[in-house]
Amino acid sequence: MPSATCVSCQGQRPAALVRPKTSEPYCKVCFFEAFEREIHETIVNEQLFKPGETIAVAASGGKDSTVLAHVLKLLNERHSYGLKLVLLSIDEGITGYRDDSLETVKRNQQQYDLPLIILTYKELYGWSMDEIVKAVGRKNNCTFCGVFRRQALDRGAMKLSVNKIATGHNADDIAETILMNILRGDIARLKRCTSIITGDESDENEGSVIPRCKPLKYAYEKEIVLYAFYKRLDYFSTECLYSPNAYRGNIRTYIKDLERLRPSSIIDIIHSGEQVLVKQTAKMPVQR
């Protein structure tokens, strides 16, 4: 723990942490304020929500979606956004992972007093992820799962008649995706992976039925962990059994190394990605 005083309240309180985003010493109170204020600014500047909308928070029980649900509820009340919030969870059917994390979501439902709907792959598609992996082996599991989950979220969102789905993608996730798409030469995905809202009328390529938004787009993963830790939020932190995606894993490690050298690297990658202009003549894959 740093011995310095907080730079934000100018020495009124001792620092409790060093902000990963800025490397400055902060007390807990000022860190909470800064973290929440920045998410509020993202929501306002990017016009993520309109008064009266119903927003489904895609809730997995992990740190990102738990912090998202907590902060959205808090900001909705503090700034009178006029939103109706609901939790939407997808049970992929992964024993020892999703069953445990859903218990966390159920507790979050009580803690935040929000409605919750859980949809299962088994009910929707007749197959759980455990059964799919048994049939196809441990290869490309996330590809199957990702497609199913996108559809499942849409179906859940339609069931709940929501206007938008808010997901817990953070700045590190987006920086990883930008680099991954550059390295793979995936121009179509590169073009849209920086968008804070996808699947709306301005996004002809996304293919989702319900628009999705990422209020944590500029929030660093390390700050999300610190916020959840100091706020004592109830979240689940085990990795999915089928997750190892070697390519993304390498990029994640690379970004963490860059962050150690220069904390602004994550935001810099996002800003660079946002400025990339894709030529009109660029060949796009046709979505099937």
99 is in an annotated binding site: no
Which of 186, 218, 204, 263 has the alpha carbon at shortest distance from 46?
A: 218
Nearer to ligand SF4, 15 or 68 (CB): 68
Which of 20, 19, 23, 18 has the alpha carbon at shortest distance from 3?
A: 18
**By CB under 6 A, is residue 124 in contact with ligand SF4?**
no
> Of the listed pieces 101-109, 142-150, 177-185, 255-263, which binds ligand SF4 according to CB under 6 A?
142-150
**By CB under 6 A, is residue 141 in contact with ligand SF4?**
yes
Select the residue interacting with ligand SF4 from 242, 251, 252, 263 (CB under 6 A). Answer: 242
**By CB under 6 A, is residue 238 in contact with ligand SF4?**
no
Select the residue interacting with ligand SF4 from 52, 96, 146, 249 (CB under 6 A). Answer: 146
Select the residue interacting with ligand SF4 from 34, 118, 142, 258 (CB under 6 A). Answer: 142
d(CA 184, CA 187) in angstroms, rounded, equals 9
Q: Is the dihedral of CA 227, 43, 115, 130 positive or negative?
A: negative
Q: Are 165 and 157 in contact (CB under 8 A)?
A: yes
Residue whose token pair is 């789905």: 165
Whole-angstrom Cα Rg for the chain: 19
Give first-to-last CA distance, the chain, whole Å.
52
Smallest gap from Cβ 208 to ligand SF4, in A, equals 16
d(CA 85, CA 139) in angstroms, rounded, equals 36
Which of 162, 158, 127, 118 has the alpha carbon at shortest distance from 145?
A: 127
Q: Are 162 and 59 in contact (CB under 8 A)?
A: no
**By CB under 6 A, is residue 235 in contact with ligand SF4?**
no
Largest CA distance in the chain: 61
Angle at which helices 246-261 and 171-184 cross, to 10°: 120
Smallest gap from Cβ 46 to ligand SF4, in A, equals 26
Smallest gap from Cβ 149 to ligand SF4, in A, equals 6
59 is in an annotated binding site: yes
Select the residue interacting with ligand SF4 from 56, 145, 213, 224 (CB under 6 A). Answer: 145
**By CB under 6 A, is residue 92 in contact with ligand SF4?**
yes
**By CB under 6 A, is residue 243 in contact with ligand SF4?**
yes
**By CB under 6 A, is residue 182 in contact with ligand SF4?**
no
d(CA 124, CA 154) in angstroms, rounded, equals 12
90 is in an annotated binding site: yes
Nearer to ligand SF4, 96 or 146 (CB): 146
Residue numbers belonging to the annotated binding site for ATP: 58-60, 64, 90, 168, 173
Residues at the contact surface with ligand SF4, assessed by CB under 6 A: 92, 129, 141-142, 145-146, 240, 242-243
